Amino acid sequence: MMPLPSTPTDFTLAEARDAVRARKISSVELTNACVKAMQAARTLNAFVTETPDQALTMAHEADRRIAAGSTRPLEGLPLAIKDLFCTKAVRTTAGSNILSSFIPPYESTVTQNLWDAGAVMLGKTNMDEFAMGSSNETSHFKPVISPWRAHNSNQGLVPGGSSGGSAAAVAANLCLGAMGTDTGGSIRQPAALTGIVGLKPTYGRCSRWGIVAFASSLDQAGPMTRTVRDAAILLKVMASVDPKDSTSVDVPVPDYEERLESGVKGLRVGIPKEYRIDGARPEIDALWDRGAEWLKAQGAELVDVSLPHTKYALPAYYIVAPAEASSNLARYDGVRYGHRAARPEDITDLYERSRAEGFGAEVRRRILIGTYVLSAGYYDAYYARAQKLRTLIARDFINAFEHCDVLLTPATPGPAFAIGEKTADPVAMYLNDVFTVTVNLAGLPGLVVPAGVTGNGLPLGLQIIGKAFDEATVMRAGRAIEVAADFRAKPETWWEAA
Amino acid sequence: MSVDQDTVRRIARLARIALDEERVGPMMHELNGILAWAEQLAEVDVTDVPPMTSVVEQQLKMREDGVTEGGNADALMANAPEAEDHFFVVPKVVE
């Protein structure tokens, strides 16, 4: 066994769990170390709301439980929660002005599962407004700044999005793990850009209840961690069948951690040729080739497969997701909760101004696109056609999985980019999700693992895609990549306040 | 297909989002940029392809049609921007 790091915030979740159980460190000590790191890193703007008092109360309770011998699976482990998960009595903003003072009277099912397992809440993390963005720049609470910088550069980089605050908090060792959500790549793209592990589970694996809705047929919660093992530990607790979410699926949740080290000997790994695209950086393809060699060297069999409708996934997504968003976000009316415009002339004026003042530019744009593609006369040309493409994309995967067990693909077309670099062109920003969005459209699990760095020191990831509800095999393959890549790069701690 | 300024005003009205007149033109260009890019979906032959209605194959769950929760008026009203005696206050809608 590896010796424990000297700083508690550098522990992996698994190391911290074992150390707390063995009483080598108390939850209060661990939590204090994370709170201190979080407060010293405000320059990163990773948290919208810090909850140090609640964290310490939970940590004391955890230490009491450990002393009493009634330790739960995540006892005393501090986590950061994306501000899309409703947390009872703790402000939940979805990164939006319209919810900037919303205090949920209930707890999301996923976070309730974490607290029931003994986890400690450090705070709520920054994100793109309503999870609509790939850089965290659409947040009402200002962008998150990535802990990573290119060699010899002070330029601020994006952490990716929409779960950018969670990604930055994990990458900068402010917490032991974090919750994200993924509608088109919002866990996996920021994970790739910040050199951490991000898992989008199968649609239906985790309950969506209490997560502020963006696109209901695509949204899924997942863990963001520093190791594949940590993701396995968190998913086991997050996953549940929930009477409050009729799309949560009643299938057994295996012990992912137990199966992690089984290796990839004999595993058939599909390499989809359509993921070699114009516009991806050459180092992306090189890393992908290296990843395939790593798996082959460990006994996996590489299989060339084809997913012919891949190029249509992104445009289909940017019809389907805004359509669902325009419907979901109709609830923000300035009447029942959320921002309300002052001195409305009449009810229509109240709606129109509350929403115009409450939503940011990207959210307004997507609601208008969604409204248009669902409107009379355009529904068949756009929305119905996009849903048919979705069927074809899902069939592509079914056909590919007749020849392989998992797929290996790049995670993103490039490394982290500068703040402000892509905000002027919505379509250029959307292209960030080109490798991740297919998985959401087909409802499949996808895992991103850090696998290398660019010439100037920025992290890059690889993605494993699996069959529905086969996260165990996905994580086993991801673990093999992790072992071979031996990714140890960490950002310099330039952000720490004196 | 592309949208004109009248269409932008109409969908903003449908979406109940106030749009300043000087924003109509720029918004039209932004929406047309996205729609032009989505135009490539028209290349694909989708004859006889059913639209996806459910990502994961499963039977729709049924439950007893009964009251499962209630009596939470205080909690429900707690975030209301304007409320009176468990009622949401809105501008006058009936003449």
Annotate A122-163 with DSSP letters as a single string.
EEEE--SGGG--SSSTT-TT-PPPPS---TT----B---SSS
- Residue A209: in which H helix or E strand, if any? none
**Which residues on chain B are in Cβ contact (under 8 Å) with A388?**
46, 49-52
Q: How far apart are CA A283 and CA A310, in angstroms?
A: 21
Q: How far apart are CA A162 and CA A128, in angstroms?
A: 5
**Which residues on chain B are in Cβ contact (under 8 Å) with A334?**
81
Token look-up 């229509």 returns A348
Distance from CA of A155 to the nearest CA of B (A): 28
In the predicted model, is pLDDT for residue A113 greater than 70? yes
Q: Is A443 exposed, middle or buried (0-12, 13-18, 19+ CB in 10 A)?
A: buried
Per residue in A93-106, pLDDT (tens digit) is 999 999 999 999 99
In the predicted model, is pLDDT for residue A127 greater than 80? yes
pLDDT band (50, 70, 90) for residue A1: low
Q: Are residues B43 and B13 in contact, defined by beta-carbon separation less than 8 angstroms?
A: no
pLDDT band (50, 70, 90) for residue B94: confident
**What contacts A307, CB < 8 A, 6 or more positions away?**
A272, A274, A275, A393, A396, A397, A400, A438
Token look-up 């005393």 returns A76
Task: Closest CB to A426: pick one of B18, B33, B52.
Answer: B33
Residue whose C-alpha is closest to residue A484's, from A290, A237, A250, A257: A290
Q: Does B94 touch chain A (CB under 8 A)?
A: no
The residue-averaged pLDDT of A56-81 equals: 98
Enumerate residues 424 to 483 of chain A having a beta carbon within 8 A of any beta carbon in chain B.
425-427, 441-443, 468
pTM for the whole thing? Answer: 0.97
**Which pair of tokens denotes residue A470?**
């086969």
**Is A354 a residue of the active site?**
no
The residue-averaged pLDDT of A86-90 equals: 98
Percent of chain A with pLDDT over 70: 99
Q: Which amino acid is at A281?
A: R
Q: What confidence score (pLDDT) does residue A498 get?
A: 55
Q: What confidence score (pLDDT) does residue A173 get?
A: 98
Token look-up 């140090």 returns A52
**Which pair of tokens denotes residue A450?**
């850090």
Q: What confidence score (pLDDT) does residue A488 get?
A: 95
In the predicted model, is pLDDT for residue A426 greater than 90? no
Three-state SS letters, A328-345: HHHHCCCCCCCCCCCCCC
The residue-averaged pLDDT of A46-53 equals: 98
Q: What confidence score (pLDDT) does residue A310 get?
A: 97
Q: What confidence score (pLDDT) does residue A466 get?
A: 98
The residue-averaged pLDDT of A339-367 equals: 97
- Which region among A163-177, A362-376, A437-451, B64-78 has the lowest average model confidence (pLDDT)? B64-78
Distance from CA of A333 to the nearest CA of B (A): 9
The residue-averaged pLDDT of A119-136 equals: 98
pLDDT band (50, 70, 90) for residue A445: very high
Percent of chain B with pLDDT over 70: 99
Per residue in A271-311, pLDDT (tens digit) is 999 999 887 788 999 999 999 999 999 999 999 999 999 99
Torsion angle of the four alpha carbons A283, A288, A292, A293, in this order, in degrees rounded to the nearest 10: 0
In the predicted model, is pLDDT for residue A25 greater than 60? yes
Q: Are residues A109 and A209 in contact, defined by beta-carbon separation less than 8 angstroms?
A: yes
Q: What confidence score (pLDDT) does residue A281 get?
A: 84
**Structure ipTM:** 0.96
In the predicted model, is pLDDT for residue A30 greater than 80? yes
Per residue in B18-77, pLDDT (tens digit) is 999 999 999 999 999 999 999 999 999 999 999 998 888 778 888 899 998 889 999 999
- Which region among A123-127, A235-239, A379-383 has the lowest average model confidence (pLDDT)? A379-383
Distance from CA of A111 to the nearest CA of B (A): 20
Q: Which amino acid is at A349?
A: D
Nearest C-alpha in B relative to A378: B1
**Which pair of tokens denotes residue A277?**
């695209």
Q: What confidence score (pLDDT) does residue A73 get?
A: 98
Q: How far apart are CA A85 and CA A94, in angstroms?
A: 8
Three-state SS letters, A430-487: HHHHCCCHHHHHHCCCEEEEEEEECCCCCEEEEEEEECCCCHHHHHHHHHHHHHHHCC
In the predicted model, is pLDDT for residue A2 greater than 70? no
Q: What confidence score (pLDDT) does residue A463 get?
A: 98
Enumerate residues 99 to 118 of chain A having a beta carbon within 8 A of any beta carbon in chain B.
101-103, 105-106
Number of Cβ within a 10 Å radius of residue A108: 27
